[in-house]
Amino acid sequence: MAIIASNFKTNHTRKSTASFVKEVSEFLQSNNISNEVIVFPTATSLDEFETVSNLTIGAQNAYAVDKGSFTGEIGTTQLDEFAIKTILIGHSERRHVLGESQEEIAKKYDFYKNKGYKIVYCIGEPLEVKESGLDKTLEYVYEQFEGIDTNYDNLILAYEPVWAIGTGVTATNEDITSVHSAIKLRIPKPLLYGGSVKVANVAEICALDGVDGALIGTASWIVEDFKQIIENTKDL
Ligand code: PGA
CA 135 to ligand 1 center in whole angstroms: 24
The number of residues in the chain equals: 236
The confidence score (pLDDT) of residue 168 equals 86
Residue 66: other Cβ atoms inside 10 A = 13
3-state secondary structure of 59: strand
CATH of the domain at 124: 3.20.20.70
Residue whose C-alpha is closest to residue 165's, from 196, 141, 190:
196
Active site amino acids:
91, 160
Task: Give 182-227 pLDDT, tens digit per residue.
Answer: 999 999 999 999 999 999 999 999 999 999 999 999 999 999 999 9
Atom of ligand 1 nearest to the CA of 93: 8
Give the separation between CA 197 and CA 42, rounded to whole angstroms. 20
Per-chain mean pLDDT for the chain: 97
Ramachandran angles phi, psi of 122, nearest 5°: -100, 140
CA 160 to ligand 1 center in whole angstroms: 8
Domain around 62: 3-233
CA 86 to ligand 1 center in whole angstroms: 18
| Number of domains observed in the structure of the chain | 1
Query: What percentage of residues in the chain have a pLDDT greater than 70?
Result: 100
* Cβ of 162 below 6 Å from ligand 1: no
Ramachandran angles phi, psi of 123, nearest 5°: -140, 160
Please tell me what DSSP assigns to residue 21.
H
Give the separation between CA 214 and CA 208, rounded to whole angstroms. 11
Residue 135: other Cβ atoms inside 10 A = 9
Whether the per-residue pLDDT at 170 is higher than 90: the answer is: no
Residue 72: other Cβ atoms inside 10 A = 5
Task: Give 56-113 pLDDT, tens digit per residue.
Answer: 999 999 999 999 999 999 999 999 999 999 999 999 999 999 999 999 999 999 999 9
Q: Of the residues 6, 92, 97, 197, which should be mutated to test ligand 1's pocket, given the most ligand atoms within 8 Å of the CB? A: 197
Whether the per-residue pLDDT at 166 is higher than 90: the answer is: no
Q: Hey, which residues does 222 pair with through a beta bridge?
A: none
Whether the per-residue pLDDT at 1 is higher than 90: the answer is: no
* Cβ of 197 below 6 Å from ligand 1: yes
CA 164 to ligand 1 center in whole angstroms: 8
Q: What is the side-by-side order of every strand in the sheet holding 213-216?
A: 55-57, 36-40, 3-7, 213-216, 191-194, 155-159, 118-123, 86-89
Residue whose C-alpha is closest to residue 223's, from 45, 11, 47:
11
Contact 213, 36 (CB under 8 A): yes
